Amino acid sequence: MKIRVGMGFDVHQLEEGRDFWLGGIKLESAKGAVGHSDADVLIHALCDALLGAANLRDIGFHFSNKDERWRGKDSKFFLQEVTRLLAEKGWKIENADCTLCLENPKINPHIPEMKRVLAPLMNVTEEEISIKATTNETLGYVGREEGVNAYAVALISKPDAL
């Protein structure tokens, strides 16, 4: 059995009056993330963790922010595509662990729904996805609510024969 780990990081700016897509769901928030796609920082970090584990480059390589096809795109599509790319190479997703870093809104009440939305896109059960959230203790750009950070690690496996 081959086992590989990957890590991902993403950051997006926050701006008043934008939709805030996070973990595949839309949050009630005065500010939302700015980006070429729907700017879902959690899904982007997760995609990079999975691609990194499989040594398949990164999300920008597969879904360039210069490509008009991806303007305003629902990031759930990217996660589904990344899962498909990994499956093509024989990789099975074992688990993922994510950390969000932002001051507002509070994320904990939304974590069960995020897991429900993300699990089927990754062909795993909710048990295999962990999502955690922390503030940045008001420090730096995250603390000033100018941006949101997401970190993810993922473990994947395949039989030696593949």
Residues that bind Mg ion (CB under 5 A): 10, 44
Nearest residue relative to Mg ion (C-beta): 44
User: Is the CB of residue 41 less than 8 Å from the CB of residue 22?
Assistant: yes
User: Per the structure block, which two tokens stand in for 50?
Assistant: 């999975």
Query: By C-beta, is 43 or 133 nearer to Mg ion?
Result: 43
**Min dist. Cβ of residue 19 to Mg ion (A):** 15
Query: By C-beta, is 75 or 83 nearer to Mg ion?
Result: 75
Query: By C-beta, is 66 or 127 nearer to Mg ion?
Result: 66
Q: b/e per residue, 18-53, with b = 16+ CB within 10 A? A: bebbbbbbebebebbbebbbbbbbbbbbbbbbbbbb
Query: By C-beta, is 66 or 137 nearer to Mg ion?
Result: 66
**For the chain, how many helices (H) and strands (E)?**
5, 7
**Min dist. Cβ of residue 44 to Mg ion (A):** 4
**Min dist. Cβ of residue 3 to Mg ion (A):** 27
Query: By C-beta, is 24 or 161 nearer to Mg ion?
Result: 24
**Min dist. Cβ of residue 5 to Mg ion (A):** 21
**Min dist. Cβ of residue 85 to Mg ion (A):** 17
Tell me how far apart the alpha carbons of residues 132 and 116 are, in angstroms, rounded to a whole number: 15
Longest dimension (CA), the chain: 51
Tell me how far apart the alpha carbons of residues 118 and 123 are, in angstroms, rounded to a whole number: 9
